[in-house]
Chain A
């Protein structure tokens, strides 16, 4: 059962870039070894935190989009919990929401298509009259 999750985590602001790379690659290897798939890695950069977390006022946000099972997420969360530079993390399941959005979009597109088709037909009917 594969699901899509978003793993957002915050590392301490003084963490060097190469250490971040190392952390991300270890997480990626953990994902691929359990049959999951990393869809996207996004570094959102340094941001001011809304409140103080472990005496830090800033943090570097990293977002991972992962496809896999619940067990995989369990493992990833365990790793994030034990890795010292990670100060906070959040996992959100996104596939159901995405499905809902796609459905709404499809309905809207269908409606738009019918309306534009009707408008085009009207224009086509009108055009000869204008030229003639």
Chain B
């Protein structure tokens, strides 16, 4: 009776849970790398390191501030790009792992039978 419960769950809700697990794992990895924030702030200055120019600043100062700020944004962009790349790799690995789990899931309860068969028949 218990074994029936096991198989019933495994091939119904258990398998569905794996599908839900895929999205949960991907979301988690995306959050660890702050993907939504990275995308939203892609061109923001790095750590707000900026130079402020005023109306009465000289042209030199204004240009210097502009260059500084562009540089800060470029630095921010590249750091975020690297982070996004790492996030992408992690999401990819997690996705592959989760898909493999979903694919292999139906086979797991059968593995004892498969391995026993192989062992006894010297199969493969």
Our verdict on whether A and B bind, yes or no, reads: no
Interfacial residues, chain B to chain A (CB-CB below 8 A): none
Interfacial residues, chain A to chain B (CB-CB below 8 A): none
